[in-house]
Amino acid sequence: MKQICVIDGQGGGIGSAIIKALKEFFQETVEIIALGTNAIATAQMLKAKANRGASGENAIIKTAKEADIIIGPIGIIMAQAMMGEVTPSMAKAVAESRGKKLLLPLSQDNIEIVGLSTIPLPHLIKSLIQRNLKDFA
């Protein structure tokens, strides 16, 4: 079964919204793994019905290596993002993963991606699924 890893930190709200939309779209045809930079984020993503979940640096490093797709905010590839929750090792593991990375242009850090319009999160998630995942399963 193909694996989609959703990575989030802090309160897990972005990851939870992504997982809910993925579950609605794929049902049980793919395995969705919640990877939280902390236990609270993981717990919230598991409540959103991820198939499995794990927290912390080692879980993200190990699981990212084998993921078919990794989804999360752009901060998951930036060391010290999400108020320092993304360690340099986590960012490196995600960036070097063989899996396709689908990154949402959301950041609380001092980063601005020039040329992007501000689109509400639900619309970003819908677009992510329709443009990138419709043929995945």
pLDDT tens digits along 97-112: 999 999 998 877 677 8
pLDDT at 137: 66
User: Using one digit for the tens of pLDDT, what is the confidence trace for 31-51?
Assistant: 999 999 999 999 999 999 999
Q: Read off the CATH number of the domain in which 29 is found.
A: 3.40.50
71 part of a folded domain:
yes
Residue by residue, what is the 3-state secondary structure of the chain? CCEEEEEECCCCHHHHHHHHHHHHHHCCCCEEEEEECCHHHHHHHHHCCCCEEEECHHHHHHHHCCCCEEEEEHHHHCCCCCCCCCCHHHHHHHHHCCCEEEEECCCCCCCCCCCCCCCCHHHHHHHHHHHHCCCCC
Q: What domain range includes position 114?
A: 3-132
In a domain, 137, yes or no: no
| The pLDDT of residue 118 | 82
Q: Is residue 95 pLDDT above 70, yes or no?
A: yes
Position 14 in a domain: yes
Count of the separate structural domains present in the chain: 1
Tell me if 65 is assigned to some domain. Answer: yes
